[in-house]
């Protein structure tokens, strides 16, 4: 006697059980790790503004290859090229991650009923990663495109973008969403690929990291707002004494 098992249909026919599904998982994990590590470095580089304009200026020059310039001034094209690379990684990550999104209203309702009926921390973490991922789908490309079209970075130029161009609103929404999404993503990758068995301990570390990164990111944003409020238009690039 033959026993037949009926599997639920997916929004992407043929994806379940297909070799591509395993490859997509690996691509999603690799790009997620890359973006998560980039976020950790990016927020710390940005937070150098908390040490003063001079400190942030020097960090920018180092990152833009100022040591290879006769004047010591970095090359903004480095920021442009790297931003293009990050955009490609973001698009690739989003493309393989979209297959996990509920495609219909009924699926969202079923997910909500499931979340209300269980108390599983990893499932709740996945839900919040899903929500923040949806938000980032709209916000992240805007930020990256801005850095591609206007790669000039510096204490005054960045403050102008934040304060006078009102980019603070974008960053205020982007910061918590990207931090929560990235840190939960790193946690899920570590668990998924068996890098740790101590889920409770890792969850505590992730919570501390989320709070810490949002705090330093918020303080950096506030610093740019304060600097920008003192700048008169047209804004002149910062020149160290």
Higher pLDDT, 74 or 238: 238
Q: pLDDT averaged over the chain?
A: 86
Question: Rounded to whole angstroms, what are the CA distances from 36 to 24, 86, 105, 108?
Answer: 18, 11, 30, 27
Residue 219: phi, psi to the nearest 5?
-65, -40
CA 183 to chain centre: 9
Q: Which class is 22-229 in CATH?
A: mainly alpha
143 is in an annotated binding site: yes
- pLDDT over 60 at 33, yes or no: yes
93 is in an annotated binding site: yes
Tokens of 159: 């403050």
Q: What does the alpha-carbon distance between residue 113 and residue 207 come to, in Å, rounded to a whole number?
A: 25
User: Hey, is 135 helix, strand or coil?
Assistant: helix
- pLDDT bin (cut points 50, 70, 90) of residue 11 is very low
Q: Catalogue the long-range contacts made by 80-86 (C-beta closer than 8 Å, 24 or more residues apart).
A: 80/147, 80/148, 80/151, 83/144, 83/147, 83/148, 83/151, 84/148, 86/35, 86/38, 86/144
- pLDDT bin (cut points 50, 70, 90) of residue 66 is confident
Which residues neighbour 142 within 8 Å (Cβ) at sequence distance 6 or greater?
Answer: 170
What confidence score (pLDDT) does residue 198 get? Answer: 85
E strand or H helix at 45:
helix 19-46
Q: Give the chain's largest Cα–Cα span.
A: 86
Min mean pLDDT across 19-33, 64-78, 117-131, 225-239 is at 117-131
């Amino acid at each position: 006697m033959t026993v037949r098992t009926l599997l639920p249909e997916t929004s992407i026919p043929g994806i379940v059980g297909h070799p591509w599904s395993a490859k997509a998982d690996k691509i999603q994990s690799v790009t997620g790790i890359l973006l998560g590590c980039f976020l950790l470095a990016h927020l710390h580089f940005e937070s150098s503004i908390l040490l003063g304009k001079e400190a942030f200026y020097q960090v920018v020059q180092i990152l833009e290859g100022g040591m290879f310039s006769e004047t010591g001034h970095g090359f903004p094209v480095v920021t442009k090229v790297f931003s293009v690379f990050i955009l490609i990684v973001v698009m690739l990550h989003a493309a393989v991650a979209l297959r996990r999104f509920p495609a219909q209203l009924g699926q969202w309702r079923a997910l909500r009923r499931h979340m209300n009926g269980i108390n599983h921390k990893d499932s709740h973490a996945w839900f919040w990663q899903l929500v923040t991922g949806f938000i980032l789908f709209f916000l992240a490309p805007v930020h990256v495109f801005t850095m591609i079209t206007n790669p000039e970075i510096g204490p005054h130029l960045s403050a102008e973008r934040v304060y006078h161009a009102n980019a603070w609103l974008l960053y205020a929404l982007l910061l918590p969403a990207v931090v929560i999404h990235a840190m939960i993503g790193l946690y899920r990758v570590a668990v998924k690929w068996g890098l740790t068995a101590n889920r409770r301990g890792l969850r505590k570390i992730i919570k501390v990291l989320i709070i810490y990164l949002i705090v330093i990111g918020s303080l950096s944003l506030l610093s740019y707002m304060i600097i920008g409020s003192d700048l008169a238009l047209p804004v002149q690039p910062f020149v160290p004494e």
